[in-house]
């Protein structure tokens, strides 16, 4: 334990030291490094995929589920997407050094808020190796240092990605210690990291609910949380039903293993008999298991009964629960009771109902006539994301470059003293 603790402590101390340099780097240096890192990923594509195959083979041997394997797997397309994300992050506005606002006091003092990096960010994540590149890129752009600890199932992939990125970063002006990966799979490493509040400014866990709860309970450092994604789409009685079918199909089927996929479909009773038969047919053709409330089961034959547990279950699979509701009011009540406050949507042509839904649904991302699958840093124009926060403090929704900053007050005077 002593050796491991010393190793993690050395990483944290090195990151803290590097953070004072990172906060002063110019946009030109950071953006040049990010572009070189993107090139490095593509240049090392073969070795990254070879390492990833070891992880996938081991995961299959452990009989891990299909959703897990999907999140773990890398191919040419996903590595290109990782590289493209880094280039998009490089193209983002650099918030560091920006004066957010400034005002004068009656005594002549000028007071301003200046955007600054957070410092050192620890990211603890599970089976998605692309997180390694996204988190490093976003932290770097915002002038932060990163300490990453990925899941043991992706260890070979994470090391290969990290080495490609770190080599390119150091060759392009990023200080040693700014980018770190904890390479041990010993869970005690995480426990040690979570105690180092003198060196680490924020912890971001990405993964299942159990991981996030454990991190939140153990951490001596502030934690930015996202427990799970129970997302809803409500089809209003004034919906364009063709549009609703497309949105509801995409939200569930396009990639069911991710947090912004829809888990519960709510349908107004006024249009349920017209909408559900066709919608259910499309779901069944796509291999979706449907679980319905009593009224849904009267309309759609041969489906399972939804239980109370279904309304609070994140399936991350081709399973959906459907409930027929009386009206918008009942839909909103259901969402605010069972939603995990990540993404919820309404399909409607009624402007009043759209505005009411936006106003009353208490989630990080609330949609009108669009799929919940868009809740993503890349889709929001951030280039990438370090996570999707369901907290309200310090950031909410997709966490991009700007959300990885803080501010300090700057005050200009000309000799003022306090009386």
For every residue of 279-332, DSSP letters joined together read: HHHHHHHTT-EEEE-HHHHHHSTT-EEP-GGGGG----SSEEEEEEESSHHHHH
Q: How confident is the model at residue 68 (pLDDT cuts 50, 70, 90)?
A: confident
Q: How confident is the model at residue 24 (pLDDT cuts 50, 70, 90)?
A: very high
Q: Model-level pTM? A: 0.86
Return all residues near 354 (Cβ < 8 A) that are at least 6 apart: 346, 348, 368, 369
pLDDT of 128 > 90? The answer is no
For every residue of 49-115, DSSP letters joined together read: HHHHHHHHHHHHHTT--HHHHHHH---HHHHHHHHHHHHHHHHS---TT-EEEEEE-TTS-EEEEEE
Q: Which tens digits make up the pLDDT trace of 146-165?
A: 999 999 999 999 999 999 99
Instruction: Compute the radius of gyration of the chain from its Cα atoms.
Output: 24
- Average the pLDDT over 359-365 and give the result: 96
pLDDT of 1 > 60? The answer is no
Write down the pLDDT at residue 398.
87
Q: Which tens digits make up the pLDDT trace of 283-326?
A: 999 999 999 999 999 999 999 999 999 999 999 899 999 999 99
For every residue of 192-216, DSSP letters joined together read: HHTT-TTT--EEEEES-HHHHHHHH
Write down the pLDDT at residue 383.
80
Write down the pLDDT at residue 132.
95
How many degrees, rounded to 5, is the angle at CA 314 between CA 308 and CA 318?
Answer: 105
Gap between the Cα atoms of 322 and 280, Å rounded: 10
Query: What are residue 116's DSSP bridge partners?
Result: 406
Query: What are residue 291's DSSP bridge partners?
Result: 304, 321
Domains of the chain plus CATH, in order, are 2-224+399-412 (3.40.605.10), 231-374 (3.40.309.10)
* C-beta neighbour count of 36 within 10 angstroms: 20
Task: Confirm if 388 and 372 have CB atoms less than 8 A apart.
Answer: no
pLDDT of 394 > 90? The answer is no
Q: Which tens digits make up the pLDDT trace of 220-259?
A: 999 998 778 999 999 999 999 999 999 999 999 999 988 8
pLDDT of 77 > 70? The answer is yes
Write down the pLDDT at residue 210.
85
- In terms of pLDDT, which residue wins out, 171 or 377? 171
Task: Confirm if 130 and 41 have CB atoms less than 8 A apart.
Answer: no
- Average the pLDDT over 389-413 and give the result: 91
From first CA to last CA, the distance across the chain in angstroms is 56
Q: Which of 16-25, 36-45, 333-342, 381-390 is predicted with the least confidence, judged by mean pLDDT?
A: 381-390
- Average the pLDDT over 214-218 and give the result: 94
Q: Which of 7-21, 354-368, 375-389 is predicted with the least confidence, judged by mean pLDDT?
A: 375-389
3-state secondary structure of 236: coil
């Amino acid at each position: 334990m002593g050796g491991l603790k010393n190793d993690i402590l050395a990483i944290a101390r090195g990151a803290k030291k590097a953070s004072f340099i990172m906060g002063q780097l110019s946009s030109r240096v950071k953006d040049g490094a990010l572009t070189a890192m993107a090139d490095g990923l593509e240049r090392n594509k073969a070795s990254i995929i070879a390492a990833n195959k070891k992880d996938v083979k081991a995961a299959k041997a452990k009989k891990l589920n299909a959703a897990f394997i999907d999140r773990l797997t890398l191919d040419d397309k996903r590595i290109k997407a990782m590289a493209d994300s880094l280039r998009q992050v490089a193209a983002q506005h650099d918030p560091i050094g920006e004066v957010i606002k400034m005002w004068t006091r009656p005594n002549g003092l000028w007071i301003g808020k200046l955007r600054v990096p957070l410092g050192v960010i620890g990211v603890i994540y599970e089976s998605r190796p692309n997180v390694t590149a996204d988190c490093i890129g976003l932290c770097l752009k915002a002038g932060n240092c990163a300490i990453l600890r990925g899941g043991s199932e992706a260890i070979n992939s994470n090391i290969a990605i990290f080495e490609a990125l770190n080599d390119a970063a150091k060759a392009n002006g990023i200080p040693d210690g700014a980018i770190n990966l904890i390479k041990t799979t010993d869970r005690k490493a995480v426990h040690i990291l979570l105690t180092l509040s003198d060196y680490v400014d924020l912890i971001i866990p990405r993964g299942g609910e159990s991981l996030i709860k454990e991190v939140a309970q153990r951490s001596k450092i502030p934690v930015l949380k996202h427990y799970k994604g129970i997302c809803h789409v409500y089809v209003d009685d004034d919906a364009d039903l063709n549009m609703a079918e497309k949105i509801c199909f995409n939200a569930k089927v396009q990639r069911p293993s991710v947090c912004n996929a829809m888990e519960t479909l709510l349908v107004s009773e006024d249009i349920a008999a017209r909408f559900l038969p066709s919608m259910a047919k499309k779901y069944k053709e796509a291999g979706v298991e449907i679980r319905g409330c009593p009224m849904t089961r009267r309309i759609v034959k041969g489906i399972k009964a939804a239980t109370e547990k279904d309304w609070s279950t994140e399936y991350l699979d081709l399973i959906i629960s459907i409930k027929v509701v009386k009206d918008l009011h009942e839909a909103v009540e259901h969402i605010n009771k069972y939603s995990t406050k990540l993404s919820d949507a309404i399909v409607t042509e009624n402007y009043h109902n759209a505005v009411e839904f936006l106003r009353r649904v208490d989630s990080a991302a609330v949609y009108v006539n669009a799929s919940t699958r868009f809740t993503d840093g890349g889709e929001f124009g951030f280039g990438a994301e370090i996570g999707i926060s369901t907290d309200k403090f310090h950031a909410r929704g997709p966490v991009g470059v700007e959300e990885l900053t803080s501010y300090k007050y700057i005050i200009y005077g000309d000799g003022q003293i306090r009386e």
